[in-house]
A and B are shown apart, each in its own frame.
Chain A
Amino acid sequence: MSADFIAHLGAHVVLAGAALLVAAAIGIPLAGGAVDRPLPRGVLLALAGGFRVVPSLAVLTLTIPFLGLGFAPALLALVVLALPPILVNTDVALRSVPNATLEAARGMGMTERQVGTRVRWPLALPVVAVGVRTATVEVIASATLAAFIGGGGLGDYIVSGLQTGNFPELLLGAASVAVLAILADAALGVTQRRLALSLSPTSG
């Protein structure tokens, strides 16, 4: 592998990884805080639904007037893209913990905080992980578009391949992004199955 390719791959991973971290750090607590409050929850889910239908390229382009070109606007656009699946899945995850289980926890004398940290969040975690996994695949694929606004990454090969009619270069970019997304998805899939398995052993 050439140094050039590794640099592009690295930039791609850093951009996608940073976007996911920021989106998870914002989205998970936000959805957690809103889940039992009907009004904020409604607003949040409506926003998540709204963001979901905006095309990635449009989001990327719309950030340029505010942040210019480069890494920052690309990061912001990808965070916006990663937020909906994380918000929605965290919400679903927390609401899918049976009410009876939470009542049992309260009935045994757990404080609300203990109900959250010892019962509700641990039980919700596998579904929260599904959201992060979905977001990961979307962000790795969409980070390709960052090249259009100077965000770097593997998308550079696609952009320059398109401009110069260099088909092998274009293919290199497209294929490596696809492989990266598949690998990340598989890795997170394993983690997620481990999480789910630790909650519900099927054998023994």
Chain B
Amino acid sequence: MTSSSSTASPNGGARAGGARVELDGVGVRYPNAPFPAVDGVDLTIESGTFAVLLGPSGCGKSTLLRTINRLVEPTTGTIRIDGGEIRQRDATDLRRGIGYVIQAVGLFPHYTVAQNVSVVPRLLGWERERVERRVDELLRMIRLDPARYRDRKPRELSGGEAQRVGVARALAAEPRVLLMDEPFAAVDAIVRASLQDEIARVHRELGTTIVFVTHDVDEALRLADRIVVMNAGHVVQTGSPTEVLERPADAFVRDLVGVDAETRRLALERPLIER
């Protein structure tokens, strides 16, 4: 039941901003669980790729994502980032080098926007001046006016603004890998679309390797260089959005993308905004 797959960056070759992530026979079995949450996943995500883990809830995609920053320790297999085995590294040290975005609740409610964004730089002991500069730079990058937003608390932000702050926070220390766990699930469709444009633009500008978890097929098609379809702990197909739409590997993938496959394929042919 092992799925073997390899994804390549569409631009070919490594871009400066992203790390190569390799998963080798990765399995996760929670104590007392009848089935493994993740079972024997082999997956290579090339440097700078926007990879989307797509599947229904409970398929193991989120667990798989969390093995990459060691929030979940695999029971089998190994994971390498830029060739280095992550198990050999100190977990907190590793995590400071990997961006992590979850739904809006992940912002610290007792911190201001600036304090939230600068968590990792401050953990890394950056000079105060460098931290301040970086905060302003990041807020401008996500198109929030630093003068207006720096000192706000998360409660004073809209859902979309909070999520953009979450992205800025994850990118603060210039990570070479960015993990995003259903980051836009809690916002409405219009805001979600603009957040998707935003993250696509950031990815284009920075070339960070992104691993993005979603159960939303349209979101996956819209953002991914490579889609990794998962079901019941296994990777069932890996490919470009077009490949997944045109040649679904099995009945499961066909059902997942199938209902509107033709419309979706046509939508892909039309270039997205700025893409």
Q: A residues engaging B (CB < 8 A)?
A: 98, 100-101, 103-111, 114, 119, 122-123, 198-202, 204
Contact = CB atoms under 8 A, between A and B. Distances in A.
Interface stretch (B14-22, B151-159, B249-257): B151-159
Interface in B137-192: 152-153, 155-156, 169-170, 179
Contacts of B153: 200-201, 204
A109 B106 contact: no
A103 B100 CA distance: 10
A40 to B, nearest CB: 20
A47 B215 CA distance: 45
Nearest to B170: A108
B7 interface: no
Interface residues of B, number: 27
A123 B119 CA distance: 16
Nearest to B155: A200
B93 A109 contact: yes
A109 B120 contact: yes
Given A109-B123, A204-B153, A204-B156, A103 B71 contact: yes
Given A104-B100, A201-B155, A204-B153, 4 more contacts: A101-B109, A103-B102, A109-B96, A122-B110
Kindly name the residue among A100, A106, A109 whose own CB sees the greatest number of chain B CB atoms within 10 A. A109
Q: Say whether chain A's binding surface is mostly helix, strand, loop, or mixed.
A: helix
A94 B43 CA distance: 38
Contacts, number: 67
Given A101-B105, A107-B69, A123 B110 contact: yes
A124 to B, nearest CB: 10
B102 A107 contact: yes
Given A100-B102, A108-B95, A201 B156 contact: yes
Contact of A104 (B97, B102, B110, B156): B102
29 contacts: A100-B106, A101-B105, A101-B108, A103-B71, A104-B102, A104-B105, A104-B106, A105-B108, A107-B71, A107-B95, A107-B179, A108-B96, A108-B100, A108-B119, A109-B94, A109-B95, A109-B96, A109-B97, A109-B123, A110-B119, A119-B110, A123-B109, A200-B109, A200-B153, A200-B155, A201-B156, A202-B155, A204-B153, A204-B156
Contacts of A105: 108
Nearest to B179: A107
B105 A98 contact: yes
A110 B106 contact: no
B103 interface: yes
Contacts of B105: 98, 100-101, 104
Contact of B110 (A103, A107, A198): A198
Interface string B78-114: 0000000000000011111100101101111110000
A100 B62 CA distance: 13
A105 B115 CA distance: 13
Interface string B51-83: 000000000000000000101000000000000
A201 B170 CA distance: 24
A60 to B, nearest CB: 40
A196 B168 CA distance: 26
Contacts of B97: 109
Interface-central residue, A103, A111, A123, by most chain B CB under 10 Å = A103
Nearest to B115: A118
B230 to A, nearest CB: 20
A160 to B, nearest CB: 50
A119 B108 contact: yes
A119 B115 CA distance: 12
A126 to B, nearest CB: 10
Nearest to A195: B110
Contacts of A110: 92, 119, 123
A198 to B, nearest CB: 7
A126 B175 CA distance: 35
